């Protein structure tokens, strides 16, 4: 969305960026704003847990401003575009992840500067619901302008992961060069991987450093590019001396980690790697098509830590084919990596099969759902929605909570207190504890 807003502004359109979640704008205030502004077009990025609410909102917007055009975009509507066209009065549905290029194409079509809509659009005409075919990810990402940070209110966004302030995000790739994990909803939007050039990201970092005095970024590409691309980028960070001014966090894969690569990234200014552990059971890693082994998880964590990088691990609980013993094995591996100093943070989520993923298809075909597959509001990661071999839903939640409880142990807190070298380190520790307590409260509310 930020890229789309920036592109449309660059092309001369009057663009309003309105993130009700980040800005804590309630529904009534949003409707009042919409009624006052009456924009020609409003686009909404949606996700499975809130899709039904967005259908109601779009119908309400049509009551307020019948001539206003509405657009839905996101992984859910990419998986089920016809559903949203039938369930609400939305004018256009964008499929695929190139919101910027396709939204620009819709506006060009509306204004008459282009006689055809781009591929990947669902729309209405006098004869009913139509579409332009399957979306094509053939747009050049290097042609896009850098995100307009002022327009998109960059200061509103920040993860608890960051250590330095000011902090912001970049996204150099769409989305993962591997792209085969059965649970990942990003592959619905980006079935093939594309990236901007290393020079493009370096130039963007230069602007962030010089104009906004940014001191840390998290690149939210599904998996940060590796190979020759990464080598060129790291060399550029050192040559331009950005590694002395800013630190970088990123998502990465265990099977991409080598000692040489980890050391190169550390030298270039990388601080933290977010890595998908997912499970300590090889059968699960194979079913998920993760393309890595439990041994790679252990050795990769050591490689990253030996290079001086912080390791943030993500795991999931509640796979349909796993037993309680399997889930506890994953919990124990995560805890052991934490105890031995090979991981700095564990993030636990409940397994959710989002529409468009192979895991969703498998859940439907194998009757794994505990709920109706279209009870989308329950896809919010706070409760178990899949059957398991021998775990009750409350046991799945208990195991997931157990991971967060380990952060509140005296051993964990003392080890991190010993690592404090500055006031920034102290604030970082506090930021890490607060969301842990929040996660525990979220699960407790679902009891």
The confidence band for 64, taking pLDDT boundaries of 50, 70 and 90, is very high
Q: Of 96, 114, 131, which closes a domain? A: 131
Strand partners, 121: 94
Q: Which domain holds residue 434?
A: 158-445
Is the model's pTM score more than 0.85?
A: yes
Residues 6+ apart with CB under 8 A from 206: 240, 242
Strand partners, 313: 275, 346
Q: What is the pLDDT of residues 390-421, one digit of tens each?
A: 999 999 998 988 776 666 565 666 666 677 77
Q: What is the pLDDT of residues 340-380, one digit of tens each?
A: 989 998 889 999 999 999 999 999 999 999 999 999 999 99
Report the distance separating Cα 15 and Cα 43, nearest Å: 11
Contacts 24+ apart (CB under 8 A), 127-132: 129/82, 129/85, 129/86, 131/81
Q: What is the DSSP string of 149-207?
A: TTTTTGGG---TT--SSSEEEE--EES-SS---TT-THHHH-SS-EE--HHHHHHHHHH
Note whether 124 and 168 are same-domain residues.
no
> Counting Cβ atoms within 10 Å, is residue 416 exposed (0-12), middle (13-18) or buried (19+)?
middle
289 occurs within a structural domain? yes
Mean pLDDT of 95-122: 98
Mean pLDDT of 83-110: 99
Note whether 209 and 354 are same-domain residues.
yes
Q: What is the pLDDT of residues 122-144, one digit of tens each?
A: 999 999 999 999 999 999 999 99
Asked if 202 contacts 240 with a C-beta cutoff of 8 angstroms, the reply is yes
**In whole angstroms, how far apart are CA 381 and each of 127, 289, 331, 400?**
40, 21, 18, 11
The token pair at 274 is 């977010």
Report the distance separating Cα 318 and Cα 369, nearest Å: 12
Question: Which CATH number belongs to the domain containing residue 56 in this structure?
Answer: 3.40.50.2300
Note whether 166 and 33 are same-domain residues.
no
Note whether 425 and 341 are same-domain residues.
yes
Report the distance separating Cα 244 and Cα 223, nearest Å: 24
The SS3 of residue 306 is helix
Note whether 227 and 312 are same-domain residues.
yes
Note whether 301 and 167 are same-domain residues.
yes
345 occurs within a structural domain? yes
Strand partners, 242: none
Report the distance separating Cα 32 and Cα 415, nearest Å: 50
What's the mean per-residue pLDDT of the chain? 93
Secondary element (H or E) of residue 125: strand 121-125
The token pair at 315 is 């795991």
Strand partners, 349: 316
């Amino acid at each position: 969305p930020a890229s789309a807003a920036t592109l449309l502004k660059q092309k001369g359109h009057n663009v309003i960026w309105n993130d009700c979640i980040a800005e804590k704008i309630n529904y009534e205030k949003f409707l009042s704003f919409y009624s006052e502004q009456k924009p020609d077009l409003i686009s909404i990025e949606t996700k499975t847990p809130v899709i039904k609410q967005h259908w109601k909102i779009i119908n309400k917007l049509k009551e307020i401003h019948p001539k206003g055009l509405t657009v839905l975009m996101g992984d859910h509507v990419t998986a089920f575009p016809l559903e949203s066209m039938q369930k609400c009065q939305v004018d256009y549905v964008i499929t695929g992840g190139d919101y910027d290029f396709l939204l620009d194409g819709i506006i060009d079509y509306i204004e008459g500067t282009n006689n055809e809509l781009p591929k990947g659009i669902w729309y209405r005409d006098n004869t009913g619901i139509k579409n332009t075919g399957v979306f094509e990810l053939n747009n050049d990402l290097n042609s896009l302008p850098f995100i307009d940070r002022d327009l998109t209110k960059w200061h509103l966004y920040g993860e608890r992961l960051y250590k330095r302030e000011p902090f912001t995000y970049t996204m150099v790739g769409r989305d993962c060069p591997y792209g085969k994990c059965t649970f990942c909803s990003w592959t619905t939007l980006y079935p093939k991987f594309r990236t901007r050039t290393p020079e493009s990201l370096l130039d963007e970092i230069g602007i962030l450093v010089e104009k906004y005095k940014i001191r840390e970024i998290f690149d939210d590409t599904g998996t940060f590019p590796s190979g020759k691309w990464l080598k060129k980028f790291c060399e550029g960070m050192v040559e331009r001396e950005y590694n002395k001014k800013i630190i970088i966090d990123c998502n990465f894969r265990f099977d991409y980690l080598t000692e040489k690569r980890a050391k190169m990234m550390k030298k270039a200014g990388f601080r933290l790697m977010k890595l998908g552990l997912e499970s300590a059971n090889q059968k699960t890693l194979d079913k998920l098509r993760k393309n890595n082994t439990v041994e790679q998880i252990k050795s990769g964590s050591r490689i990253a830590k030996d290079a001086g990088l912080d390791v943030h691990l993500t795991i999931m609980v509640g796979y349909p084919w796993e037993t309680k013993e399997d889930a506890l094995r994953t919990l124990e591996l995560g805890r052991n990596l934490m105890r031995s100093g090979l991981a700095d943070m564990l993030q636990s989520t409940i397994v959710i099969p989002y529409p468009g993923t192979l895991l969703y298809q498998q859940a439907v075909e194998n009757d794994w759902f505990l709920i109706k597959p279209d009870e989308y509001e329950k896809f919010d990661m706070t409760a178990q929605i899949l059957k398991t071999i021998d775990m009750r839903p409350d046991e799945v939640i208990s195991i997931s909570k157990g991971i967060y409880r380990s952060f509140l142990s005296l051993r964990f807190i003392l080890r991190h207190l010993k690592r404090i070298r500055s006031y920034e380190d102290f604030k970082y520790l506090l930021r890490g504890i607060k969301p842990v307590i929040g996660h525990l409260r979220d699960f407790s509310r679902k009891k």
